[in-house]
Structure 1
Amino acid sequence: MKKISVVAAVIQHNDLYLCVRRGPAKYDYIANKWEFPGGKVEPEETKEDAIKREIQEELKMEIMISTFLMTVSHVYPDFHLTMDTFLCNTFSKDLTLTEHQDFLWLPKDKLSHLDWAAADKPIVSKLESL
């Protein structure tokens, strides 16, 4: 089974968290699902550099990494995903979507109301417990 390793940013502004919605995808089980933004780490790049680059590419946002949050390991039908997740902050909620179809800023008690990608659900649970 294919193994994919990625990083994700849980971006916080005041008491709100950024949620982004995928568009149509190769696999139906992740298409149109909500997720925390991020992507793959390039060779010779740290995870922290990768998350900053990915957020700049996908959302045209500047973020500050606060702390490592958790690693999620999830087996989808077609691949095994390992996702290192970082809690981040931003000075502004302004963003430009370049890859996602929608976004919301939500308080943590509303996060579980969205239809999340399976690998992101443990992150939502962790945030709700903080």
Structure 2
Amino acid sequence: MKKITVSAAVILRTNPQTHKHEILATQRGYGDFKGGWEFPGGKIESDETPEECIVREIREELATVVKAEKTLGVVEYDYPAFHLTMHCILCSVVSGDLTLLEHEDAKWVTLETLYSLNWLPADRLILDRLLSIL
């Protein structure tokens, strides 16, 4: 089975009006999983760490600079055509406006509304961990 290793950004902010934690979810605009919700990110290059990858990928996908704060965990998931290893990294925005360059849509979700989206299966596996640490 083909193996793919990626980094995913769990971008966290505190809403200035509600003072609640919010997490950025992005909707895929292409491929077999078009329309599904995920944490933004992408494939780790052979010469980079998961943290370096997520900084590069968010710059490429969302025209935004993030800081990789800490690793939340690594998800292993078997999709029908490949095995995914996903490094989930908590990030904060340093600069930029989160411009959608590859995704169909994006939204900030609270911990209470986290499960209301149709998350891709691998991304869904990190949601419980988010609730336990935030």
Does TM, normalized by the shorter one, top 0.5? yes
Q: C-alpha separation between the residues in 2 aligned to 1:90 and 1:6? A: 20
Q: Does the 8 Å CA contact 2:10/2:91 hold for their aligned counterparts?
A: yes
RMSD (Å), alpha carbons:
1.3
Structure 2 residue 27 is matched with structure 1 residue 24 = no
Deviations 1:31-89 (A, max 9, x none): 21000011111121122111100000000111111111010000011111000111111
Counterpart for residue 76 of structure 1: 79
Would you tell me which structure has more strand in proportion to its own residues? 2
Counterpart for residue 6 of structure 1: 6
The one-letter amino acid of 1:2's match is: K
68-77 or 119-128, which moves further after superposition? 119-128
Normalised to the residue count of structure 1, the TM-score between the two structures is 0.92
Counterpart for residue 36 of structure 1: 39
Normalised to the residue count of structure 2, the TM-score between the two structures is 0.89
Q: C-alpha separation between the residues in 2 aligned to 1:18 and 1:125? A: 16
Q: CA deviation at 1:93?
A: 7.5
84-93 or 9-18, which moves further after superposition? 84-93
Of residues 102, 105, 119, the one that matches 1:99 is 102
Segments of 4+ moved more than 3 angstroms: none
Q: How many residues align?
A: 127
Q: CA deviation at 1:91?
A: 4.7
Q: Does the 8 Å CA contact 2:66/2:95 hold for their aligned counterparts?
A: no
Q: C-alpha separation between the residues in 1 aligned to 2:95 and 2:44? A: 25
The one-letter amino acid of 2:90's match is: L
- Uncovered stretches (5+) of structure 2, i.e. residues with no partner: 15-20
Distance change >3 Å, CA 47–CA 91, structure 1 → 2: closer
Distance change >3 Å, CA 44–CA 24, structure 1 → 2: closer
Structure 2 residue 113 is matched with structure 1 residue 110 = yes
- Uncovered stretches (5+) of structure 1, i.e. residues with no partner: none
Q: Does the 8 Å CA contact 1:21/1:103 hold for their aligned counterparts?
A: yes
